[in-house]
Structure 1
Amino acid sequence: MASNKRKVMLPHTMGQQGIDVIKARADIETVIYPAGISQADLLPQLADCAGIALSGTPYRQKEMDASPAMQVVARIGVGYDAVEVPALTARGVPLMVAGTANSTSVAEQAFHLMIALAKKNRGMDGLVRGGKWTDRHGHLPMELSGKTVLILGFGRIGTRSARRCAAFDMQVLVFDPFVDAKTIADAGYEPVSDLDAALPQADFLSIHCPKNPDTVGLINAARLARMKKGAFVVNTARGGIVDEPALYAALASGHIGGAGLDVFAEEPAPVGHDLLKLDSVIASPHMAGVTTEAVAAMAVATAKNILSVLDGQPNRENVINKEVLG
């Protein structure tokens, strides 16, 4: 490697389109690493690394300490709960996310889960495959039109989810204490300032907030109990925002009618997980934001994020810890 080249590490799961953007730069040494790399194997490689893209790999104080040359850390996605942001900020290293690259895909999956729950897709498919066609009138599906959805979080994904729900003639309530009520109202939705007061109104709760100390366990037993009997919970954000034992109890009792879960507190979700034993649960393996289009868009956005910092012109819009930019 020429001494003037800067080393950038990319996970093997990154879309090829983004890898190609980095590899096209003659002044950069591109190193592909396994997405499931152990900390013991990763730390030595960070010693001369100027930039790194992260899939699910954690990056915390120990990784930062092992990265004296690090100039930029970029997430291939928008969640960053596995990154210790203060450790980066203390060193003046920006944390970049992929902006809106996968927002449409996640919003579509959230809405798909709502439809699948309302139309009882899992049960209807089972009736046909099990030769129980004549049982079809025993558990009727329902319409989304006229139902109320509570959108929890009005960011990149929540805004898109709200539009899809409104297009199906749903009443859209939005709870986000960090977004001005006028902004929500001007978008055509009903802002709510009290989550506990709004929950009893919701036929569907769709979660789109980040995971942080304030949101872990946000949807707990008490809040599930406030929801109307038969309501549905959809989580495409992060596992742990919904208290899983509490959700299981609410589903098993029949108080909550069903749940669509793309994320779990422990991932991969263990085989035999209590929630996966319930017919009222539809699950996917944290794939809401991982579509053909999103993988390409996130990879390119991540590559451009890294290069923007290395070239001295950081894409401010995608920087989480903007205070490092001065």
Structure 2
Amino acid sequence: MTPIAYVTAEWPQAAVSSLADLGYQARTGGWGQTGQVLTADRLAAEAAGASVLVVEVERVDAGLLAALPDLRVVCTARGTPTNVDVAACTDRNLPVLSAPGRNADSVADFVIGVLICGLRRIPAAERHLRDVGWLVGDDLPYLHFRGPELAGRTLGLIGYGAIGRRVAARARDGFGMRVIHHDPFRLAEPDGTGVTLPTLLATADVVSLHCTRSPETANLIDAAALALMKPGSYLINTAGGGMVDEAALLAAVESGALAGAALDVFGTEPLPPDSPLLRCDRLLLTPHLAGAATDVAAHHAELICADLARLAQGRRPVHCVNVDELWSTGSRPGPRD
């Protein structure tokens, strides 16, 4: 009998063929197909008999695992398995595969896009043209909607992992920016761009967050950090809500201490329609879109299928979050164990 892989993640047709090449009958449903998240009971019913479960938004917990006794592998099409109870999977000897870096290029492209749009005030100019007209009062728009070139400016990256490095390459090699970074896990980079956080904030013309959301990074950019930033600098956050004190940021922008900011993530999502952030035209606000490139699904499918192939060959998967716990037992779990 052909083993079943049930997929609720976004999954291109080419990736369905990849699962078939690995010997699976692919069945798809849920969020990736309909945009609607399956309830636990519905997911258990639709994934009944599956050996492999691939989710992106749907949650996997101990109750679901108990309802799916045929499962051999759990996969999440995310960089970190925030929607999967990894401990419960480990208790059942189930590898949990993830897709780190799946949207790294998407986010890096987006950061460069909002950096240019924000510094050059492109969205504000476009809104003015539509809503008001060509002139700003009696002035030419040239006098009101302009900003600096990127070459020679300093970009400070807080976090220097897969996304941060891609942003750095684009900014440095594509636009001639000087790049510095702060990352406590990468203090001794050979390129010599690592600096302390206070130095970064005081030096950078643009500060962009690329750190992991955690208790340590909650409210990382608060009023005190904003006060350290270079006058007239610009802040970008695509990393995670809750890292920036939004009230303090709004005050800094409205006072002129900062030139502006681009926020793709917020402390409360969806952003309430009465949020005071919406009143400030020097804030570029987007609804959590940085990782929304159309190529991302192909990237996470490729990463997951590659690790499923390794498991089928009895090899250690590359992107398995509980690999050390499972392989230390010598059990070599996998899709057909």
TM-score, with structure 1 as normaliser: 0.83
Q: Which residue pairs with 2:220 in the alignment?
A: 218
Q: 1:197 to 1:239 in 2, by over 3 A?
A: same
Secondary structure (helix, strand or coil) at the match of 1:160 reads helix
156, 181, 203: which one aligns with 1:150: 156
Deviation at 1:15, TM superposition (A): 2.5
Deviation at 1:202, TM superposition (A): 1.9
Relative contact order, higher structure (CA 8 A, sep 6+)? 1
Give the Cα separation in 2 of the matches to 1:219 and 1:153: 13
* Contact persistence 2:9–2:54 (CA under 8 A): no
AA at the equivalent of 2:60: Y
167, 179, 188: which one aligns with 1:172: 179
Q: Which residue pairs with 1:107 in the alignment?
A: 108
Deviation at 1:68, TM superposition (A): 4.1
Residue-by-residue CA offset, 1:273-300 (whole Å, 9 max, x unaligned): 4333331222333332332333323223
Secondary structure (helix, strand or coil) at the match of 1:9 reads strand
Q: Which residue pairs with 2:143 in the alignment?
A: 137
AA at the equivalent of 2:143: H
What does 1:226-305 align with in structure 2 at a 5 Å threshold? 226-305=228-307
Give the Cα separation in 1 of the matches to 2:48 and 2:247: 42
Q: 1:43 to 1:252 in 2, by over 3 A?
A: farther
Q: Which residue pairs with 1:116 in the alignment?
A: 117
Secondary structure (helix, strand or coil) at the match of 1:191 reads coil
Secondary structure (helix, strand or coil) at the match of 1:179 reads coil
Identity %: 29
Residue-by-residue CA offset, 1:51-94 (whole Å, 9 max, x unaligned): 22222233345444545443333232424333444443444433
Q: Does 1:56 align with 2:57?
A: yes
Q: Which residue pairs with 1:33 in the alignment?
A: 29
Segment drifting more, 113-122 vs 56-65: 56-65
Q: 1:32 to 1:196 in 2, by over 3 A?
A: same
Give the Cα separation in 2 of the matches to 1:203 and 1:92: 49
Structure exhibiting the larger radius of gyration computed from Cα positions: 2
Q: 1:304 to 1:259 in 2, by over 3 A?
A: same
Secondary structure (helix, strand or coil) at the match of 1:126 reads helix
Q: Does 1:82 align with 2:83?
A: yes
Give the Cα separation in 2 of the matches to 1:78 and 1:264: 19
Secondary structure (helix, strand or coil) at the match of 2:52 reads strand
Give the Cα separation in 1 of the matches to 2:232 and 2:166: 25
Question: Unmatched 5+ residue regions in structure 1?
Answer: none
Give the Cα separation in 1 of the matches to 2:7 and 2:274: 33
Give the Cα separation in 2 of the matches to 1:189 and 1:164: 18
Superposed CA RMSD in Å reads 2.8
Q: How many residues are treated as equivalent by the alignment?
A: 316
* Contact persistence 1:46–1:63 (CA under 8 A): no
Q: 1:81 to 1:152 in 2, by over 3 A?
A: farther
Question: Unmatched 5+ residue regions in structure 2?
Answer: 32-36, 329-337
TM-score, with structure 2 as normaliser: 0.81
Deviation at 1:204, TM superposition (A): 1.3
